[in-house]
Amino acid sequence: MWLLLMVIFNGPMEIKEVVILEHLSNRSDCVKRVNEAVRIGLPPDTNMGCLEVKNVSKISGGKNV
């Protein structure tokens, strides 16, 4: 599973928030979504990226992934 993340910065090298925008089944789909967001234009003080999650046995709380 791959997570599409938006990192919101508070200042130089200081992270304010990390938001999971979407979960995807493979890396290439996640990279495509990042590239789409970059083309459209990211909000100020943000960055996008993909994070691979392996060996998840149980997820509790929040929305179902």
Q: Is 63 part of a structural domain of the chain?
A: no
Whether 59 shows a pLDDT value over 80: the answer reads: no
Quote the pTM value. 0.78
The pLDDT of 48-65, averaged and rounded, is 77
Q: Is 58 part of a structural domain of the chain?
A: no
Q: What is the tally of structural domains in the chain?
A: 1
* Distance in angstroms (rounded) separating the CA atoms of residues 33 and 39: 10
Question: Which has the closest alpha carbon to 46: 30, 60, 5?
Answer: 5
Q: Is 31 part of a structural domain of the chain?
A: yes
And the tokens for 26?
């493979």
Torsion over CA: 8, 10, 13, 18 (sign)? negative
Domain around 15: 2-52
Q: Is 8 part of a structural domain of the chain?
A: yes
**H/E element holding 46?**
strand 46-52
Q: Which residues contact 65 (CB under 8 A, 6 or more apart)?
A: 1, 23, 59
pLDDT in tens, 2-52: 999 999 999 888 999 999 999 999 999 999 999 999 999 999 999 999 999
